[in-house]
Amino acid sequence: MDKESIYSREEIEEICKEVERQWEYHLLARGAFPINPEGLTEYQSSDFYIEHGVLMKVSIPGPMSPVMQRGLAGIHQWLNQNYIIRLYGILDQYKVLTAGKKLNNPYINILYGLRQKIGAHSSGYRNPKDYDARKLTKLIQEHLDPSIGDERVHHFNLAIDTVLYKMKEDCIKFIRSLEGEPIPSSSSTRHKI
């Protein structure tokens, strides 16, 4: 097998480094915009971000406009969805998604499903009656956050600590397991959840 057709140690490190770099950008953004600060005009990053090296103090002058209230109520979800799209793009670029789908890796399957359902092909709202959405919720329950109840979830639960962080860590473990393995020749875009 020729050297260019397998995942080299250097390529694995490059992929992992980019995943971590995008994660750090996400932590910084989410550190400033936690889950809805509910009308607070001053707040700081929550413990999760502080434990990961991000401490921000936010002060919003004056009363919040309706735009600020609406935006702050949903920006955390939008930022999480943005990270899903970026992680998907990195792994797709290096054909890690295809390798993961071929091996039925649950974290790659979750990432693929999230990207299709919230990232690029919808508004980000989950339809609980959709078969793929229920299947994806079940995967998240089994592998990331068992507390998610299908009947009570309107948005996909992309909690940074129980879903995104764990998924990122497990994707990195999978990426590292590919060292020396053949690089798939096909694209991931034709796969289903």
pLDDT band at 80 (very low <50, low <70, confident <90, very high): confident
Domain span including residue 64: 3-177
Residue 25 covered by a domain? yes
Say which residue the tokens 């649950």 belong to.
Answer: 106
pLDDT band at 111 (very low <50, low <70, confident <90, very high): very high
Calculate what percentage of the chain has a pLDDT beyond 90.
Answer: 48
123-152 pLDDT, tens digit per residue, is 555 565 667 777 888 888 899 988 876 643
Residue 49 covered by a domain? yes
SS (H, E, C) the chain: CCHHHECCHHHHHHHHHHHHHHHHHHHHHHHHCCCCCCCCCEEECCHHHHHCCCCCEEECCCCCCHHHHHHHHHHHHHHHHHHHHHHHHHHHHCCHHHHHHHCCCHHHHHHHHHHHHHHCCCCCECCCCCHHHHHHHHHHHHHCCCCCCHHHCCECCCCHHHHHHHHHHHHHHHHHHCCCCECCCCCCCCCCC
Residue 168 covered by a domain? yes
Choice between 96 and 190, residue whose per-residue pLDDT is larger:
96
42 near 62, Cβ under 8 Å?
no
Residue 99 covered by a domain? yes
Residue 85 covered by a domain? yes
Residue 190 covered by a domain? no
Number of domain units in the chain: 1
What is the residue-averaged pLDDT of the chain? 84
Residue 192 covered by a domain? no
Kindly state the average pLDDT of the residues 99-124: 81
Kindly state the average pLDDT of the residues 5-31: 96
Residue 42 covered by a domain? yes
152-167 pLDDT, tens digit per residue, is 344 555 788 888 999 9
